[in-house]
Structure 1
Amino acid sequence: MAEPVRPSEDALIARWFRPLATDPASFRLGDDCASLTPPPGADLVLKTDAVAAGIHFFADDPWDAVAAKALRVNLSDLAAKGARPLGYLLSLALPADWRVDQMEAFAAGLGADQARFGVALWGGDTIRSPDGLVISITAIGAVPQGRMVRRGGARPGDRLYVSGTLGDAALGLMLRLDPDRASAWGLTPAARDHLLARYLLPEPRVALAPAILAHARGAMDLSDGLVIDAGRMARSSGVSIRIGAAAVPLSPAAAHALEAEPGLLRAILAGGDDYELLVAVPAAAASDFERAAADCGIGVTAIGTVGAAPVDADAPIVTITGSDDRAIAIGAEGFRHF
């Protein structure tokens, strides 16, 4: 059967994206701009992240999952700020050989996540890409005025928490690049599939946002790896951070892989794409934060503490300790584009 003729840009927008523009602020994509009235007493929180084929996903990944990943990595940042997501703008750069069935899947992936996370498409742009699919999303959320939780809010004495489990995405990427590692690690098919899925489709912790807003002093999402992102929090806050490697929560699949290959600890602590949340909570509020997280069904684990900034300018601002409480060298800094 011949591939259906690809529609024009206007027809593409009408067919696949206008049905996603369900909020009146978008004018059903009938104007060049959307118009947003913030909720009463709220500040807007804005975040832009782009994902590109060959960097954040594989060129042959299904387009519904790619669309969902593009939206979710932005919602993850909003959650770290304690924000309730409202809507998003989409800029889409399509390769010249895109297919109608791929676009059908792309729109379906966005539609499913819009329904799940309570957001709507407000507008955007479509262009041609010479080098593969590129998606840029700007997500907008709301917090009570003056209440956005910044990465620079951590203070000495705070407890440091992470949501979920870490390292799954980095191990999943390793499996995509070398499928034989699954056998070397002794993984069951279910464990292998868990790691692969965590790389392809992160889980934004949107439900944790109210707990962060109520109890945290500082928070950020872990997109580039625990080591590098903890360093960013420490520098922004003017503090030091100490993390116990044994306290870092692992999925059963990641724990099994680490037991088979202890050198994977570097990838688990420094690999990116987890999109879990790193949260600094005053010690007095720690129990309340843990209860609030449990109430919303998201696991959080205390992995370390926040201390004063180092007196010596050459001293590390992030220290990872082993089971004997001595510092260990990770030897990797996380993902960087440049």
Structure 2
Amino acid sequence: MGEFDLIQRFFQRPAERNPLGVGDDCALLAPRPGMQLAVSSDMLVQGRHFLPDVDPRLLGHKALAVNLSDLAACGAQPLAFTLALALPHGDADWCQSFSQGLLALADAHHCELVGGDTTQGPLNICITVFGEVPAGQAILRSGAQVGDDIWVSGSLGDARLALDALLRQHMLPAPVLAQARQRLEAPTPRVALGQALRGIATSALDVSDGLLGDLQHILHASGVGASIDVRATRQLLAASRHPLMRAVASSRIDACTLAGGDDYELCFTAPGAQRAAVEAAGRVCATAVTRIGNIEALPGLRVFGPQGERLPQRWPGFDHFA
């Protein structure tokens, strides 16, 4: 199967909103009047971002999900995406499953595949996603204010728990591993919640490299500090609520929830007066939201334990080159 046969068979679709799509040298995107274009790129590399035995359908889902999560963090609505794909060889079965997972999520968010590139090489997936947001309403990292609450959507830490088990760093009961692995391999981009938080949240980002490491980006951009309460963050590990995991050590929970990464949940800030609005947005979007701390004037990030004791900073965020 040749390169152009592969594209036509698995990835070429009629364009709906854009006059040029797959098959032309460029895609033409035109945001609606009064809207700004939001653009983000993410790369997934085998052995670094996913294991060689991952189900290609789930990999297709995740490849787009991690990009949609970036749009969600800005409160943007998805429009379109491009796909650059390096493949060791043209495996039709693999491409069929990968494209099905990828395009099913794209259809769910009305996000069109409008171009890209394919080449032979080690498995590498790079997606650039385009969205639109009302001009001046994008949620940025730089808007956190002293006194704001810090919130997290959904659950945190299950992806790290699953990865550690798959790498044989610890054992998990089979039902727990299956539940946690779903969070690792098929994250849910919080697109609807991101849009619902426009005008409510003062800052936001998606949690991809660990909560504490990612939260530091908000603190640096906003020129503020923060305190986090582990009594709240320990409730975010969904697997800890499984009957077979009730005795899980708090140190493992903290490692997963505070520095796990690969969660693709939203971490955001909002004024205390907006608590009811945040909770209402979560209900409308069928997404749990948990208040985990506060923005403070004192620079730095402080983590406090169940008894109010300050915990040592031993949870660095993920860094590809560290």
Whole-angstrom CA distance in 1 between matches of 2:16 and 2:104: 16
RMSD, aligned α-carbons = 1.6
**Equivalent residue letter for 1:253:** A
Matches within 5 A, 1:14-25: 14-19=8-13, 21-25=14-18
DSSP-derived class of the 2:146 partner: coil
DSSP-derived class of the 2:138 partner: coil
Contact 1:154 1:217 (C-alpha < 8 Å) held by counterparts = yes
1:80 Cα deviation (Å)? Answer: 0.8
Whole-angstrom CA distance in 2 between matches of 1:318 and 1:171: 24
> Residue 250 of structure 1 aligns with which residue?
236
DSSP-derived class of the 1:214 partner: coil
> Residue 291 of structure 2 aligns with which residue?
302
Whole-angstrom CA distance in 2 between matches of 1:134 and 1:252: 30
Choose from 36, 52, 55 the match for 1:43.
Answer: 36
Summarize deviations over 1:87-109 as a string: whole Å, max 9, x none.
Answer: 1011111113x411001111111
> Residue 237 of structure 1 aligns with which residue?
222
Runs in 1 of length 4+ with deviation above 4 angstroms? 255-258
1:179 Cα deviation (Å)? Answer: 7.8
Matches within 5 A, 1:257-336: 257=245, 259-264=247-252, 265-310=254-299, 317-336=300-319
Contact 2:21 2:27 (C-alpha < 8 Å) held by counterparts = no
Matches within 5 A, 1:175-254: 175-178=165-168, 181-182=171-172, 187=173, 189-248=174-233, 249-254=235-240
* Count of aligned pairs between the two proteins: 317
Contact 1:49 1:74 (C-alpha < 8 Å) held by counterparts = yes
**Equivalent residue letter for 1:166:** L
**Equivalent residue letter for 1:325:** G
Choose from 124, 132, 157 the match for 1:134.
Answer: 124
**Equivalent residue letter for 2:240:** A
Contact 1:80 1:221 (C-alpha < 8 Å) held by counterparts = yes
TM-score (norm 1): 0.90
1:254 Cα deviation (Å)? Answer: 3.0
DSSP-derived class of the 1:127 partner: strand
1:258 Cα deviation (Å)? Answer: 7.3
Whole-angstrom CA distance in 1 between matches of 2:9 and 2:314: 49
> Residue 70 of structure 1 aligns with which residue?
63
**Equivalent residue letter for 2:239:** A
Contact 2:156 2:238 (C-alpha < 8 Å) held by counterparts = no
1:181 Cα deviation (Å)? Answer: 0.8
**Equivalent residue letter for 1:27:** L
Show structure 2 runs of 5+ residues with no match. Answer: none
Whole-angstrom CA distance in 2 between matches of 1:194 and 1:228: 25
Summarize deviations over 1:16-69 as a string: whole Å, max 9, x none.
Answer: 1112x5334263422100011111210011110111110111111111111110
DSSP-derived class of the 2:198 partner: helix
Whole-angstrom CA distance in 2 between matches of 1:331 and 1:39: 46
Change (3 A) 1:258 1:306: farther
Whole-angstrom CA distance in 1 between matches of 2:16 and 2:2: 24
DSSP-derived class of the 1:155 partner: coil
1:232 Cα deviation (Å)? Answer: 1.1
Q: Which moved more, 1:26-35 or 1:145-154?
A: 26-35
> Residue 109 of structure 2 aligns with which residue?
117
> Residue 145 of structure 1 aligns with which residue?
135
Whole-angstrom CA distance in 2 between matches of 1:236 and 1:258: 38
**Equivalent residue letter for 1:126:** T
Change (3 A) 1:234 1:251: same
Contact 2:158 2:256 (C-alpha < 8 Å) held by counterparts = no
**Equivalent residue letter for 1:228:** G
Show structure 1 runs of 5+ residues with no match. Answer: 1-6, 311-316
> Residue 93 of structure 1 aligns with which residue?
86
Identical-pair percentage: 38
Whole-angstrom CA distance in 2 between matches of 1:59 and 1:89: 23
